[in-house]
Chain A
Amino acid sequence: ETGVTQSPTHLIKTRGQQVTLRCSSQSGHNTVSWYQQALGQGPQFIFQYYREEENGRGNFPPRFSGLQFPNYSSELNVNALELDDSALYLCASSTRVAGSSTDTQYFGPGTRLTVL
């Protein structure tokens, strides 16, 4: 158990809909990263939030957006869902100290999103 929780566990949506996935970071962690893991592939970095601001982004379109709250919990929002958005979405929390970010990431169990 990493202390990182995600909800919901599974979700089914139809094309064009919007979805919000939630992540609760491990206690004391101020950084959260979101990943998309398509079936049979490795996770792909979507973005990272540090102290409630986006801190870096992978090759994902703007319809993927996020929020980080003062208690360091986080949301991933995806608008205008496409069939290819079907994947396991993972969040990972870590601790960033000024000028350094070498701490380990702790992953949640993921949310399985199916888009029909």
Chain B
Amino acid sequence: AQSVTQLDSQVPVFEEAPVELRCNYSSSVSVYLFWYVQYPNQGLQLLLKYLSGSTLVKGINGFEAEFNKSQTSFHLRKPSVHISDTAEYFCAVSAQGGGFKTIFGAGTRLFVKA
């Protein structure tokens, strides 16, 4: 079985500052890792995914994440945030990909202040 822990429920940050949203996971098998963003009253949008290969993954909207197998982490980073990045961010794992039994974390609310 897999589990996901998002270490921060809320992250306030000023506009143009860097941000890191932390995600740790546990699994007895190899997993696929994902970050999704959810804007108010909308569904989830994929930011980036790690399936295999390079541990540094670049996604949309300037986000990137680094897979660290030894620390079982998949932290999301952005060097300079915008007001429009204010949203809920979810880390997720799946043993098979394609949505099969995907496990989501509880979410991190990113609040970007002017």
Q: Which residues of B contact A45 (CB under 8 A)?
A: 101-103
The total of Cβ contacts below 8 Å across the A-B interface reads 75
Binding site for B on A (CB under 8 A): 2, 4, 31, 33, 35, 40-45, 48, 55-56, 58, 90, 92, 94-96, 100-110
* Cβ–Cβ contact A107 & B45, under 8 A: yes
Chain A nearest CB from B57 CB (Å) reads 13
Give the number of chain B interface residues (Cβ < 8 Å).
25
A-B contact pairs, 25 of them (CB 8 A): A2-B43, A4-B43, A31-B99, A33-B99, A41-B106, A41-B107, A42-B4, A42-B92, A43-B104, A45-B102, A45-B103, A90-B43, A92-B43, A92-B44, A94-B98, A94-B99, A96-B98, A101-B99, A103-B97, A105-B46, A107-B36, A107-B43, A109-B42, A110-B42, A110-B43
Contact (A104, B90) CB under 8 Å given A45-B102, A56-B100: no
Tell me which residues across on chain B come within 8 A of A56, comparing CB atoms.
100-101
- Give the chain B neighbours of A55 by CB distance below 8 A: 100
Assembled-state Cα–Cα distance A40/B43 (Å): 14
Do A58 and B98 touch across chains, with their CB atoms under 8 A apart? no
| A60 smallest CB distance to B (angstroms) | 12
A109 touches B98 (CB 8 A): no
With a CB–CB cut-off of 8 A, which chain B residues contact A43?
44, 90, 102, 104
